[in-house]
Amino acid sequence: MSDAHPELDATNPWERWGWAFASIWLVFLVYPIVATLEADVATGWKVTTFACILGFAVSNILGYSLWSDRAWLALTLMGVLALATTPVIGVEALAFTPYLGMLSALQLPDPWWKWATFVAVVLPVLSLAGPDWSRRGSS
């Protein structure tokens, strides 16, 4: 038993293995990874975007484990890192919103989880009202 890592003392398996639950879903980060690989930008921008995706994944896992009592910190960091990818992958950054919604719903206290989850759901819907990004560069 460790005072430095109270999550190791958890008797509830969801508390103890939350990081594993979060890790399973990271496979869906393949979409922003592919979008980054296909982006027509300089290598430096791609490397920066990959670093943001990696930071997002690490923050997501920490939000379910070591930072479970500071989920707002993980959520804020994830939001900033997701936004930082938009210059390279554009609307494909919406692939991050399910992670934001899931962390909000499962880790934030009441009543904040309801509002943060609502925002994570509304963001992709609002993107439908924006310009048609798929027609970029076409006449």
Higher model confidence: residue 53 or residue 129? 53
Residue 122 included in any domain: yes
Q: What's the domain count of the chain?
A: 1
Q: What residues make up the domain containing 66?
A: 14-127
Residue 138 included in any domain: no
Residue 47 has pLDDT above 90, yes or no: yes
Name the residue with tokens 């804020």: 76
Residue 70 included in any domain: yes
Q: pTM of the predicted model, to two decimals?
A: 0.76
- C-beta separation of 50 from 36 below 8 A: yes
pLDDT in tens, 65-100: 877 788 889 999 999 999 999 999 998 998 998 888
Residue 112 has pLDDT above 80, yes or no: no
pLDDT, mean over the chain: 81
Residue 55 included in any domain: yes
Residue 1 included in any domain: no
Distances (CA, A) of 6 to 1, 47, 126: 8, 35, 39
Residue 33 included in any domain: yes
Structure tokens at 50: 């990959």
Task: Compute the distance between CA of residue 102 and CA of residue 104 in angstroms, rounded to an integer.
Answer: 5
User: Can you spell out the DSSP letters for 83-96?
Assistant: HHTHHHHGGGGGGG
